[in-house]
Structure 1
């Protein structure tokens, strides 16, 4: 029997859904008769689908306004405060979430994402996050994201911009507030190793939220005849569960530590190698190998970043609000792609759902969007530029 979810989807359908989500969540005020909200979002979709800048996207469309007009429209139409902007962006990400999701408890992955930045801040140094040098810079725009960890439904639920003077706990509080506002229940969270510290652990335990994250070793390893305590001593033990107390000055917090083994083949000599993996947790049960397999599900959020980079708008703007918008639009397009597969292209339902990603690859969906924008705003002439 043919599933009711099997439909014929065209490029026009995909373009219509993307525009509807953008206009509903971010209704820009039209600054003029030509640069309307519909025109602005189409140019932004073209730039995201082609991984180009707004200047390149508008320059290749004969009937499109200039990139400066698009930026002016964003300046006039977007909220001025970070809180109001993130609330609108959360509505953009929450568009596809069905109401039935409120009935179940979900495992959610929370990640810390640093985007390298090579320029100067717009207004204050607090706009940037300074960390370990990576890719030729120690300046970054820092974002924290929350993503559902479930096969075929790895939707990004929320994203927040974390500034220099803000702690990781502050970013977590904003993410949890938005997840709670949607009525979603949290079964457990899987965290990046950047969150392994006392303040984050205290906050999660105060919320009564089970968590799992990799252990971070700090300081020098003690001598073999040293005291039998600490993470370095646990690392020498056999696979299983151990209890550890984290300390930060006078503040202490107790967690469980799971020690598991991972075997892999060395790429150089082809020999089998064994590696010990330690995970800090609270109110998460299972054997050491079950804990290791559970945390492996978090790697799905790395896939969301890889696909988000395929829909990344290139820009040199200093405005952190514009950069946050462009970052979230890439995540929104991935959510749209997941929503199409879940509601239109995947036969079955629930655990019986069959994912058929070959029917519409993410890159192909982006090509469709770019083609639709060209059909609307280009007269067919060959793009050109002037010589000096």
Structure 2
């Protein structure tokens, strides 16, 4: 059966306009009078660098009509500091997003993302220290809050994390944000970085169901996770808060070259989870966030800049591209039909390629390089 034809189509120019309009409306640039470059041109360079996974310098050097890369960076660093960007970043991410969230409660995920820093140890402002990972203990750290809807992940909030801040500080902001949104929350899934008494108290105070993996603190819990079968126990941290731990046991069966029984513990307070196996199954949904990070790396512009504001702008733009792709895919590309919409194949990499080509077209991408002698017959057909 031949598929019905679409009534319209989205072109590359439509997509770049949509993204640039979102950025201009939320983060307006004041360039003053008699300035040849426009805010739209600056944002097109930014979007092109993210979509192409390269750098602002690369986009400017390979196009003829783009502004100089130093000009682009200077306007962004002069006009936006980290505090300004953090205040506007969540608004930017949430625009149009609330429209596609269902009326029913959704699952949300809070996570910490650590980007290794290998620079001067004395210049650690706006950086975060943690356990050694990938050859360093210093990171550009970001906390993210996602909504999981129809097996898709939408970023609701992004927050820079620096030394001296605790996970309970981050979680307080995220739970306050959730309370302010017209959004029902089925459960909050957190990574093990949030496993402490303060965060568990916060979740109980806000009355949110939650699931998170535990950390093996103390001989008692280590003994529980080294012996026995699937079960539910009561546990306390620092004798201040008591909560149930669901211990799930599964046979490795050679997975990852491991054999024997693997035991996983989860701190759980959710009415829809009754068994340890259900705790593991529901928490496994959170791992989809790693796919979001992989996509974010694909659409994250490269930079060697130490400016925290510029790095934040690049990261929030990469997350914005994912939100826009999912929103446009659902609202404009999907076919409405009985029983639910049909999502036509349109991968994120193709979306980014379309944005990149739109930027190349806008700035006249370089199609020839200087040569010290003309091409001979080997270059001809």
TM-score class, shorter-chain normalisation, is: 0.7 to 0.9
Q: Which residue of 1 aligns with 2:328?
A: 340
Q: Which residue of 2 aligns with 1:72?
A: 74
Q: Which residue of 1 aligns with 2:241?
A: 253
Q: Which residue of 2 aligns with 1:143?
A: 142
| Distance verdict in 2 for CA 1:100–1:43, change over 3 Å | closer
- Match of 2:59, SS? helix
Q: 1:384 and 1:178 mapped to 2: Cα distance?
A: 54
Q: Which residue of 1 aligns with 2:93?
A: 93
Q: 1:52 and 1:384 mapped to 2: Cα distance?
A: 22
Q: 1:346 and 1:379 mapped to 2: Cα distance?
A: 32
Q: 2:135 and 2:266 mapped to 1: Cα distance?
A: 31
Q: Normalising by structure 2, what TM-score?
A: 0.88
Q: 2:63 and 2:205 mapped to 1: Cα distance?
A: 54
297, 301, 305: which is aligned to 2:285?
A: 297
Q: Normalising by structure 1, what TM-score?
A: 0.86
Contact 1:35 1:73 in 2 (8 A): no
202, 217, 233: which is aligned to 2:224?
A: 233
Q: 2:249 and 2:39 mapped to 1: Cα distance?
A: 54
Contact 1:196 1:215 in 2 (8 A): yes
361, 365, 371: which is aligned to 2:351?
A: 365
Residues 1:111 and 2:111 are matched in the alignment: yes
CA-to-aligned-CA distance 1:51-97 (integer Å, 9 cap, x gap): 1121111111111111111112112332x351x32121111111131
Q: Which residue of 1 aligns with 2:59?
A: 57
Q: 2:367 and 2:267 mapped to 1: Cα distance?
A: 60
CA-to-aligned-CA distance 1:170-229 (integer Å, 9 cap, x gap): 11222233333332222210000111111211222222222110111135x4xxxxxxx5
357, 362, 374: which is aligned to 1:376?
A: 362
Say which is worse superposed, 233-242 or 201-210, in terms of deviation: 233-242
Within 5 Å, which residues of 2 pair with 1:1-388? Answer: 7-31=8-32, 33-78=35-80, 80=81, 82=83, 84-99=84-99, 101=101, 103-120=103-120, 125-219=124-218, 221=219, 230=221, 232-233=223-224, 235-247=226-238, 252-266=240-254, 273-284=260-271, 285-348=273-336, 352-356=340-344, 359-378=345-364, 380-382=366-368
Deviation of the 1:144 alpha carbon: 0.6
| Distance verdict in 2 for CA 1:232–1:126, change over 3 Å | farther
Deviation of the 1:346 alpha carbon: 2.6
Q: Which residue of 2 aligns with 1:225?
A: none
| Distance verdict in 2 for CA 1:197–1:342, change over 3 Å | same
Deviation of the 1:151 alpha carbon: 2.5
Q: 2:93 and 2:177 mapped to 1: Cα distance?
A: 11
Say which is worse superposed, 160-169 or 100-109, in terms of deviation: 100-109
Contact 2:244 2:268 in 1 (8 A): yes
CA-to-aligned-CA distance 1:346-385 (integer Å, 9 cap, x gap): 33479733434xx211111111111111111126552569
Q: 2:15 and 2:93 mapped to 1: Cα distance?
A: 16
Q: CA RMSD in A?
A: 2.8
Contact 1:121 1:318 in 2 (8 A): no
Deviation of the 1:7 alpha carbon: 4.9
Q: 2:114 and 2:281 mapped to 1: Cα distance?
A: 26
| Distance verdict in 2 for CA 1:232–1:149, change over 3 Å | farther
Contact 1:160 1:174 in 2 (8 A): no
Deviation of the 1:322 alpha carbon: 0.9
Q: 1:241 and 1:376 mapped to 2: Cα distance?
A: 60
| Distance verdict in 2 for CA 1:202–1:350, change over 3 Å | farther
Gaps of 5+ in 2: 373-381
Q: 1:100 and 1:374 mapped to 2: Cα distance?
A: 31
CA-to-aligned-CA distance 1:221-265 (integer Å, 9 cap, x gap): 4xxxxxxx5452365232132211111xxx511111111123344
Q: 2:153 and 2:117 mapped to 1: Cα distance?
A: 28
